[in-house]
Amino acid sequence: MGESISDGTLATFLKKPGDRVEIDEPIAQVETDKVTIDVASPEAGIIQEFVAKEGDTVEPGTKVAIISKSADGAAPSMSASKEAVSQPPPTAEKAEEKPKPKVETTRVIEKPKPASPPTPPKVSASEPQLPPKERERRVPMTRLRKRVATRLKDSQNTFALLTTFNEVDMTNLMKLRSEYKDAFLENHGVKLGLMSGFVKAAVSGLQNQPIINAVIDGDDIIYRDYIDISIAVGTPKGLVVPVIRNAEKMNFAEIEKEINTLAKKVNNGTISIDEMAGGSFTISNGGVYGSLLSTPIINPPQSAILGMHSIVSRPMVVGGNIVPRPMMYIALTYDHRLIDGREAVFFLRRIKDVVEDPRRLLLDI
């Protein structure tokens, strides 16, 4: 596992005792705080037994299975499991015997009920009936979900969170995308999306307001001379944030290619820990799910996060006339201990200016 990972949870076995495995064939999956890692078989043979159990916490070097190079090793585990199955009946009998005194106790308690007035039944009848426990499922949290929960709660407890908002007219960026999408795809082999425009706008904003790219470390402020943009991606297992390294040195095509590569790895579950480590600023696009407005929470130890939202056609006043425009609300949540409202508003204004007029990037104005 990676250097930053000390242990993990044995999530599931992909094979069963008695199954044949080849060299480097995955036999189990270990869930860490960030990614799920396959445990590969070091030898070809028959799985004799599993030493560890699903749900166990394992470290590098922990034995999880015994693999026999012959088929003889499968028998002991089968007989052992049969013995284990044959043992439960006595315990079950004991469990059946225990409830008997409890039944007598409840009968004693129920005796006073006839003497009670008829009013309580009417009140209880009007109370909402809770669903039976049989209709509920209790599932343990995954390591990734636990890690996300801990980090976000730490963020809330540590940072002085404040959010400022603005709105962006997406007309020009969408027009640019519409006019050049075919030529862009032909030349670069990747589609031109809106995210690259926001990444370039964020880079410009961070260069104008370097405090937003900085971080508090004890009594010091660390200013970063690089811009690594984390892109928040929601998955069924939890939130992951792959990082676009040195975004300030990349053009639109390079950003789109990197986003495309990272998105494929996230969907396939092959993204590595190194590809999610670090990051100096995060962009979260809730608009892909239809979010109109939200207050994103900072991804520690960063100091700010930009939230994008859905594009909605709204009536706007342009040149004294009311016209429909594709509008997007944007939000910046920042650590008010480090960043003042002035810098936050200037940064969001820069995002608005660049997205509404991408030509500013060419002229550096």
CB 204 within 8 Å of CB 229:
no
Whole-angstrom distance, CA of residue 355 vs CA of residue 361 = 10
Residues in the chain: 365
3-7, 29-33, 254-258: which has the minimum mean pLDDT? 3-7
- Positions of E strands within 64-214: 65-68, 161-169
pLDDT averaged over every residue in the chain: 83
Closest CA to 294 of 281, 314, 313, 308: 308
174-188, 257-271, 281-295, 344-358: which has the minimum mean pLDDT? 257-271
In the CATH scheme, what architecture does the domain 144-363 have?
Answer: 2-Layer Sandwich (3.30)
144-363 matches 8-84 in CATH topology:
no
Quote the pLDDT of residue 126: 60
In this predicted model, what pLDDT tens digit does every residue of 316-347 receive, in sequence order?
Answer: 999 999 999 999 999 999 999 999 999 999 99
- Is it the case that residue 74 has pLDDT exceeding 80? no
Q: Which of 24, 72, 154, 340 is catalytic?
A: 340
- Give the single-character DSSP code of 332: E
Closest CA to 152 of 241, 227, 221, 216: 241
- Positions of E strands within the chain: 8-13, 20-21, 26-31, 36-40, 45-50, 57-58, 65-68, 161-169, 215-217, 220-222, 229-235, 238-240, 243-244, 281-285, 304-308, 311-318, 321-335
Q: Which of 336, 353, 357, 364 is catalytic?
A: 336
Quote the pLDDT of residue 69: 82
Every domain of the chain and the residues it spans: 8-84, 144-363
Q: Per-residue pLDDT averaged across 146-172, rounded?
A: 92
Q: What are the structure tokens assigned to 345, written together?
A: 């508003």
Catalytic residue flag (residue 336): yes
Q: Per-residue pLDDT averaged across 36-56, rounded?
A: 85
16-30, 61-75, 101-115, 231-245: which has the minimum mean pLDDT? 101-115
Quote the pLDDT of residue 86: 40
Quote the pLDDT of residue 4: 62
27 CB neighbour count, 10 Å cutoff: 20
Pick the CATH number of 8-84 from 1.10.510.10, 2.40.50.100, 3.40.50.300, 3.40.640.10: 2.40.50.100
Model-level pTM?
A: 0.69
